[in-house]
Amino acid sequence: MICVALPGLAISTEQGQLTGRGLEGIYRAGRRVLSRCQVRVAGREPLVVQARMTSADRARFTGTLRVTPHGGPDPDVVVERTRSADGTERITLQSAATRPLRLPVEVALGTDLADLGAIASGTVGPELPASVHDSGLRWTGATGTSCVTATPPPADALASAGLLRWEFELPPGGSVSVELKARLEGAGPARAVGRAATSPLAPAQATGDDPRVGPLLATSVEDLQALLVRDPAHPTDTHLAAGAPWRCGLAPAEALAASRMTLPLGTRLAAGTLRVLARTQVTGQGPRSGMIPGPRRDAGAHLPPSCTGTEATLLFPVLLAEARRWGLPEQETEELLPVAERCLTWLLAAVGDSPYLRDPQPGGPLRCETQAHAHRAALLGADLLDAYGRPGGGGLREWALALRARFRQDFWIDDPGGGRPVAARTPDGRLVPHLCATMAHLLDTGLLGGGELAPGLLDKVRTEQLARLLGSPVMDSGWGLRGLGAKEAGHNPFGHRSGTVRVHETAIAVAGMAAAGYEKEAGALLRGVLAAAEAFDHRLPEMYAGQQRTEGSAPLPHPAACRPAATAAAAGVLLLTTPAGIRPDAPAGTVTLRPLHSAPLGEIVLTGLRIAGAPFSVRVSRLGLAMVEEAVDGLQLGA
Q: pLDDT tens digits, residue range 133-175?
A: 889 999 999 889 999 999 999 999 999 999 999 999 999 999 9
Q: What is the mean pLDDT of the chain?
A: 94
pLDDT (0 to 100) of residue 196:
58
Residue pair 183/146 in contact (Cβ under 8 Å)? The answer is yes
Pick 17 or 73 by higher pLDDT.
17
- Which amino acid is located at 568 in the chain? A
601 and 533 Cβ atoms separated by less than 8 Å: no
| Residue 358 near residue 426, CB atoms below 8 Å | no
For 220-246, what is the HEC assignment? HHHHHHHCEEEECCEEEEEEECCECCC
- By the 8 A CB rule, do 581 and 515 touch? yes
Q: What is the mean pLDDT of residues 89-94?
A: 97
What is the pLDDT at residue 98? 87
Pairing state between β 420-421 and 501-502 = unpaired
- For 534-553, the pLDDT digits (tens) are 999 999 999 999 999 999 99
The answer to whether the beta carbons of residues 141 and 127 sit under 8 Å apart is no
Q: Please count the CA atoms within 13 angstroms of the CA of 164 that sit on its side-chain side.
A: 27
Question: 503, 554 in Cβ contact below 8 A?
Answer: no
In this predicted structure, what is the pLDDT of residue 303? Answer: 87
Average pLDDT over residues 408-434: 93
Q: Where residue 226 falls among pLDDT bands split at 50, 70, 90?
A: very high
Query: What predicted TM-score, i.e. pTM, was given to this entire model?
Result: 0.93
The reported pLDDT for the residue numbered 331 is: 97
pLDDT of 433 over the 60 cut: yes
pLDDT of residue 186: 79
**Residue 409 CB contacts under 8 Å (≥ 6 apart), including other chains:** none
d(CA 191, CA 438): 38
Share of the chain above pLDDT 70, in %: 98
How many CB atoms lie under 10 A from the CB of residue 93?
23
Distance of alpha carbon 56 from alpha carbon 34, whole angstroms: 20
Using the Cα atoms of residue 355, residue 361, residue 363 and residue 365 in order, give the sign of their dihedral: negative
Amino acid at 96: A
pLDDT for 536 equals 96
Q: Is 70 exceeded by the pLDDT of residue 306?
A: yes
pLDDT score of 197: 58
What pLDDT is attached to residue 91?
98
Cβ pair 350, 309 in contact under 8 A: no
Packing angle of the helix pair 503-516, 460-470 (nearest 10 deg): 140
**Most distant CA pair in the chain: distance in Å?**
88
The whole-angstrom distance between residue 122's C-alpha and the CA centroid of its chain comes to 26
DSSP E strands in 514-603: the ranges are 543-544, 582-585, 590-593
For residue 189, name the pLDDT band (cuts at 50, 70, 90): low
